[in-house]
Structure 1
Amino acid sequence: MTSQGAGHQPQHQAVTDFVTAVQRGPAALVFDGEAGIGKTTAWLAAIAAVRQSGFRVLTARVGQAESVLAYAAVADLLADVDAAVIAQLPDLQRLAIDRVLFRAGGDGPVTDQRVTAAAFATLVEAAAATAPTILAIDDTQWLDPSSRAVLAFATRRLRGRVGVLATERRDTDGLTATAWLDLSLPDDVTRMRLQPLSIGALHSVLVDRFGHGFPRAELVRIAEISGGNPFYAIELARVLDGSREPAAQPALPPTLAEVVRERTGRYRGDTADVLLTLSCVSAATVDLLARAAGATAGRIVELLEDVETDGVVAIDGNRVVFTHPLLARGTYAEATPARRRAAHRALAAVEQAPELRARHLALAATTSDEATLAELDAAAQSARERGAPAAAAELLELAIGLGGDKPMRRVRAAGDHFQAGDAARARALLDDALEQLRPGWLRAIALNLLAAVHIYDNHFTRAAELLNQAVEDAADAPPVLVQTLMSLTFARGMGAFADGTDDTGWVEEMMATARRAVSVAEELGVPSLISQAQTMWVHTAFIHGHGVDEEALQRALALEEPDDDVPSPSRAGFVQALLSAWTGDLDAARTQIDAVRRHCLQRGDDRNMMAVESYSALIALWSGDLGQAALQAEEAVHRAQQLGGEHVDVIPLTVRAAVAAYRGQQAAAEADCAAVLEAVQKSGSVRMADWALMTAGFLAVSRRDFDAAIEALQPLVDRLPLVPGIELMQGWFLPDAAEALVSLNRLDEAEQLCALLLSQGQQFDRAWMLAAGNRCRAMVLAARGSLDAALDCARAAMAAHDRVPMPFERARTQLLLGQLQRRQKAKEAASATLAEALVCFEAMGAQLWVERVRHELARTNVRRSAAAQLSPTEQRVAELAATGMTNRDIASALFISPKTVESNLSRVYRKLGIRSRAELGRRIDDVR
């Protein structure tokens, strides 16, 4: 939403509303407008107001010079956070914050921007738990990239009483500097555009500043030239106020630039040099200015005495600042290039922080200088160690711009850009570098990075092409070779069938690549790489029909380095959770993936968290908790959208579609499936369409549209000979395909699928395969008229269901069993079986399957005594009422109104000849 302010002070109501909103949850108030319009004044007034309301305020006043120092704004915001609170962070997060605050160096585990962001979010939420907390940031357009990334991460996750109070100078093209400010609801962000002041308001401002008014004619001239901008108006009035004699009335400067030039350009000699030096630094002190000038602190104070009196600078203790950012920018802009270089050279000689010293050296240089390039390289490494890849990339780009354009720097800068989330810039640098690189390990690294960029956008075929080249280049660099082989295994599997061929050799190629990665890693002897390679092997072998290599999995788990930043397919704990889920041990899977979730949250690892939430949703889905599955699927989609990228949300959308289909939400499931199929068509990653097709097939079977089901699933059935292995993740569609084929009287084809499920289930002891295979074979046998054999298979399926906690699949088999019992005239048994299935589907909220069971119950039509002929709905209402449930609870469970419950109970009482629930409890066994 957008609010309009009448003056440069914020509307009292806007601040009041902001205070109220923060009491409820996350909210933001942003003041924007042109330079000098009074944003900082409005911001300070708002801070005073929220402090009066008892809020805690963490502040950062950002300047143009500060935009060069990584985490400058984050460090300012954390300046008043108690060290004891920081000490309570998890070890890795505490280390990241200590590095931001320059209290720790590069020793210890690697931290990066994501860990820093997660730690910052934890600290803010902890503060908000004790008092409403405001993050107050002035001049957000000058935020350094690392701080901006941390704030973007944190604000997206705010849940407590946290507010963001910010100012920004709106660009002329309408772009906003606070685009990173993304709260959970768009209306939680209020933007107030500060408008030019009226003549009356300007009069009040000038009287406050100068202690007297100005003649009407002069006031009108000031208003016209300033356009109502209070800073500009004050500076124009200062010109007039310094020359009050009528004969000496000066002409007013026509532009804001001239006003600034007049304020700062009057100083000469050493004073001008000190002001220029001041404009070059972010956190200036008298001591720093003295060291740069080669003077005493007393001399610096003496030089700035008149400048302070003129209101150009302010000295607060040892700190020196310009009174307005425009004065700092004007001072720097008006200096000649030679003077600016001299100032940066002087600062480089006294600056202690590696990043700032290197930047000063770069800005002082005019030609390629090896010493300066070395400083920039070292500063980039320092930034990288502090978990600031954006700053590292910027420093390397400075070196490239100064003539140090070497492939190595481009590759390193590309890696830093990719880590910082700028995949487009990483791709551009890598494309340029690869044109210059000769075969060898450096080109292999560049190819790996470029492949990672393509994998990020799900362009697996192109990634595999690049990685195949990298394998040759990495032959003499085992660490690079292991990473290349692992990435190639993953990309080759995900990119299968993209070229439309039906070659089966790709599976053996994948397996051989994964085995080679393990072999090279073992020879190298690096535990972390061994763990990753073994994990990739275990995962690859499993999904292609070789079962679980338990020995390799345990070795991978034992050697896993918890603090390593590795993709989820190479993380042993994550793959262990998947294997537990796919083999039916859902309780273990849930515990294991929760542990991975905690690790990812501590690291701020959004990309892996997207995968964690996606697979957590599937575990909940298979466990029958469709409500929880829906929440986790939605969270996975949300995280994917935050990551950006071209097709990052394909997997989360696929999972959300499956959950919607199980819940009977047809429109939502179809929309997500359509979005996935469209993205797959653009990316060319054919296999990523599999689950969307499975979901479409399942949805069609759920509504008994078997022609549509086969249309969706036939491509997957045809591909079975090309993809050995039908574990749950890949073979989930087989029972749906078999049921559709039986319903279309294609019994031989259905029998082949049954045989596949049963043989694989017996070979690897997969209870879900045995249950589904026996259910499907029961359908085939029943269609051929062998009801007794069909019943035996259905009962065998129920026995297998007892070994795996998948209630939806169990209820589905009960539906078939009830149908078979009805066909054998065992209507009492059929009614009981179907009623149990109905309870299960209703509890899960699987609406389409509820309707299917109710239809079968109606067909069963069990006849009792004339007084007890209850309809299926009356039967369910009676059973639930007998348990003590209220009418409202019964209505909620059966998706009917309380009034309908009352009507059904009345009919039940009449048919049974009873008058109360107590009697119903005694008679209920008679009507079951």
Structure 2
Amino acid sequence: MASALSEATSFVPDEATVDRFYEISGGNPLLLRALLEDCAAAQDRETDVLDPCVGGLPGSALTHAVTTCLNRSGQLAVTVAEGLAVLGEAPDSALLARLCGLARFSAMQGLRVLRAAGVVTDLGFRHPVVRTVVLENMVPERRRELHRVAARLCYLEGAESSQIAPHLAAAARVDDPWGVGVLRDAAEEALVEDRDLLAIDYLELAHAFCVDPRQRADIRIRSAVVRQRNDPFAAQRAADELLGMLRAGQLTPAQSLATADVFSGCRRIDGVNEALAALRGPGDGAPDGPAGRAAAVIEYCPPWPGFAPGTRNPALEWEGRSAQRGEEGGTAAEELLRRTVLTDSTLATVGNAVRCLVYTGRPAAARHWVDVFVREAERRGADGWYAMFAGIRAELALMTGDLPAAERYAREGLERLPKQKLGTLAGGLVATQVLALTRMGEYEAGARLFEQPVPEDLFTSEHGLTYLCARGCYNLVTNRLSSALNDFLAIGRRVRDWGIDQPQWIPWRGEAAEALLRLGETTEAEQLLSEQLSLLPAGHERVRGVTLRLFSQTVEVRRRPALLVRAVALLQSAGDRLQLAQALGELAESYCWLGEDGRAWAALSRARGLAEECGAEHLREALLLHQGPIRSEGARADGSYEDQLARAVAQEVVSNQWDGGWRATLSNSEKRVAALAAGGHTNRDISSQLHITVSTVEQHLTRIYRKLRIRGRDQLPVDLQFCDGPTTSTPCRTLP
């Protein structure tokens, strides 16, 4: 062997190289020459290492040499080689003989011939190319039949499911009743190793040959869940198939609940509602049995998805408690994340818990956990999971005003999804990307993304709400005001129909009010904003701050600064730099109207800096236009106005009087008087409505001003009227 190698090469090979060549060729001169030819060809391709493993490619010299050796070895050896190729590596000669339909003596004789030819050692091939050549030279029907028999023999021998399933897959059929169970078990074993594509192949084969309707439904549910790892669009199609089975009455209560969970993972609200509505007993929104466990399935799900309107929604109840106790809700979500491992069954729960952190004012914790799960999805090669968490990451970046990061994260998520498909998740990522581009002033880029087709079922999902919001915002900044209003009102219709109209999660009223303000419909805008404040639970600084910023545009100029300072404090606390920049810009404009140029300049300079940090070029340019009316030279000379602004905001943050802190300091009678006074009622009006004397009203107001540390009713928080006291707000206009 060494001399043959020396003759074929320009150097003396070392002992290790000689051993490798012998291990693969078995000393067969034909195989050795083929290996050397392949090595020489590899060296021509600038590979300077003498490596026998470079052979075996289609059309290589080794491939032709193996075919020649087998043809010269006789039919018995070919039959044994076929059986050995199907088994991969036979555990013993008896199993090989049974597979080939030979006596054990004959099988041993065929093996001896193959060993002499140098293609096998013990009960396995010397080189993978030999097995490949044998399998490719077999008649397809013969190969599939041998795999079918091999599966049965391995099952009778007590082999593991992971050893049997490849034979069933290669046979492309399941004839025995145990085959479906073996494929399902093998799929779960493959998932442990993150081989989800193999698991899906096994599940699809099991589904195709399963005759039990209940098992077929279980398999389809499982495959839908697994497909979310890398192909969310295929998961949606599987979910649609399950919905058809549900409508046909083919699902058990437990399967209906699992179907709801599948739709929850796809964020398809209509599907969740329909699946859960099917569980209701007559006159009961929460039947016993599996339906009673619905809360466990969607425990941390934000209000979408939920039960159909009119049913008891445990998820909404949990979120309602979390909304009232934002700190406790965030703590519970973070605790869940600490003790939960990311799996197919926990994906929706983990995603919802991260969203809970986002919306209950814990951006730092949310950012930490979403980064953890993005890395986990990357490590496990789960592109669908990666895209989902990239979407949450982009959403978080939007809420903190980091527009370039939001656009980048959304784009990265889209790049992980199949290019030829556009499911609801992809639609949501496109929408988030458009929102970021729009706020950055990249309108043409946003318009190009809107040209992409979207699936019809996008608007049955949470992602459809994001898409409508993005389109509405784009229409708003491009002065298509009626179209923008229609988009925002469409969000309102959907969330009302779905029974999830909660402004802390979906503040559509504020967005619609902004469009109405631009259209000059101040009264209707005020009604929407008043309603949003009345429905908004304690906490949720970001939504409350944005609402107060918009509300300031409905009041006279002299009252705007007080509202905007409160909005600034809330938005600063929430960490939304973009909305904070907008509020400061409007505060600067209000100060300018009132002739307070020093304060206007302080607010404007800070607003411009924030807009630049956010990458909001359009906002920054708009703020530059505000600089003209402000006598900036005089304002620059004295930095005391910046200090005054900082102190005013700090005072609002500390007192927190507009965000529920007043409840602890005012008596019930004082609350009622304060609410009416904040609503614009005179002392005589309040006296009449509460059936007390005008003097008593005046005494209450004096105590209220002292407790809230304000000078008069003009400084009463505007949203006092939406808390425990009576309200003077008029109903919002009916949505079309």
| TM-score scaled by length of structure 2 | 0.63
1:638 pairs with one of 415, 425, 437 = 415
Show the counterpart of 2:542. 768
CA distance in 2, matches of 1:702, 1:413: 48
1:315 pairs with one of 114, 120, 129 = 120
1:831-842 aligned within 5 A: 831-842=601-612
1:665 pairs with one of 431, 442, 454 = 442
1:374 aligns with 2:178: yes
1:322-471 aligned within 5 A: 323=130, 325-331=132-138, 352-357=159-164, 372-374=176-178, 377-378=181-182, 380-387=184-191, 405-421=211-227, 423=235, 443-448=252-257, 460-462=269-271, 464-470=273-279
How far off is 1:688 after superposition? 4.0
Secondary structure, aligned partner of 1:764: coil
Does the aligned pair in 2 maintain the 1:757–1:772 contact within 8 Å?
no
Does the aligned pair in 2 maintain the 1:456–1:645 contact within 8 Å?
no
1:908-919 aligned within 5 A: none
String of CA shifts for 1:385-444, please: whole Å, max 9, x gaps.
342676667667777888x62224423443454355365995798699879x987xx633
1:797 pairs with one of 567, 571, 578 = 567
Show the counterpart of 2:366. 589
CA distance in 1, matches of 2:148, 2:492: 70
- Alignment CA distance shift 1:617-1:565 (3 Å): same
1:714-753 aligned within 5 A: 714-716=489-491, 726-731=502-507, 734-753=509-528
1:465 aligned partner, one-letter code: E
2:313 pairs with one of 484, 504, 513 = 513
CA distance in 2, matches of 1:760, 1:365: 58
Secondary structure, aligned partner of 1:860: coil
Secondary structure, aligned partner of 2:125: strand
1:275-294 aligned within 5 A: 275-284=81-90, 292=98
Show the counterpart of 1:74. none
Q: Which runs of 5+ in 1 are unaligned?
A: 1-37, 62-135, 140-166, 170-193, 195-204, 210-229, 239-259, 497-505, 516-535, 870-928
- Alignment CA distance shift 1:377-1:47 (3 Å): farther
1:538 pairs with one of 318, 338, 344 = 318
Segment of structure 1 superposing worse, 665-674 or 357-366: 357-366
CA distance in 2, matches of 1:361, 1:316: 27
CA distance in 2, matches of 1:41, 1:416: 50
String of CA shifts for 1:71-111, please: whole Å, max 9, x gaps.
xxxxxxxxxxxxxxxxxxxxxxxxxxxxxxxxxxxxxxxxx
CA distance in 1, matches of 2:563, 2:146: 90
Show the counterpart of 1:692. 467
Secondary structure, aligned partner of 1:373: coil
- Alignment CA distance shift 1:419-1:591 (3 Å): closer
Does the aligned pair in 2 maintain the 1:577–1:592 contact within 8 Å?
yes
Does the aligned pair in 2 maintain the 1:771–1:796 contact within 8 Å?
yes
String of CA shifts for 1:862-895, please: whole Å, max 9, x gaps.
5679xx99xxxxxxxxxxxxxxxxxxxxxxxxxx
1:562 aligns with 2:340: yes
2:610 aligned partner, one-letter code: C
2:181 aligned partner, one-letter code: D
Show the counterpart of 2:425. 648
- Alignment CA distance shift 1:590-1:774 (3 Å): same
CA distance in 2, matches of 1:491, 1:770: 19
Secondary structure, aligned partner of 2:361: coil
CA distance in 2, matches of 1:803, 1:856: 25
Does the aligned pair in 2 maintain the 1:274–1:289 contact within 8 Å?
no
Does the aligned pair in 2 maintain the 1:741–1:750 contact within 8 Å?
yes
How far off is 1:766 after superposition? 3.4
1:482 pairs with one of 266, 276, 293 = 293
- Alignment CA distance shift 1:753-1:361 (3 Å): closer
**Alpha carbon RMSD of aligned pairs, Å?**
5.4
Does the aligned pair in 1 maintain the 2:221–2:242 contact within 8 Å?
no
String of CA shifts for 1:447-491, please: whole Å, max 9, x gaps.
456566666666543554344335569999835752598469979
1:744 aligned partner, one-letter code: L
Show the counterpart of 2:581. 811
Secondary structure, aligned partner of 2:120: strand
Does the aligned pair in 2 maintain the 1:278–1:284 contact within 8 Å?
yes
Does the aligned pair in 1 maintain the 2:548–2:563 contact within 8 Å?
yes
2:395 aligned partner, one-letter code: L
2:119 aligned partner, one-letter code: A
1:845 aligns with 2:615: yes
Identical-residue share of aligned pairs (%): 16
1:698 aligned partner, one-letter code: C
String of CA shifts for 1:119-164, please: whole Å, max 9, x gaps.
xxxxxxxxxxxxxxxxx9x99xxxxxxxxxxxxxxxxxxxxxxxxx
How far off is 1:846 after superposition? 0.6
CA distance in 2, matches of 1:407, 1:597: 37
How far off is 1:346 after superposition? 6.0
1:444 aligned partner, one-letter code: P
Secondary structure, aligned partner of 1:584: coil
CA distance in 2, matches of 1:627, 1:603: 27
How far off is 1:749 after superposition? 1.6
CA distance in 2, matches of 1:428, 1:716: 23
2:581 aligned partner, one-letter code: A
Does the aligned pair in 2 maintain the 1:774–1:796 contact within 8 Å?
yes
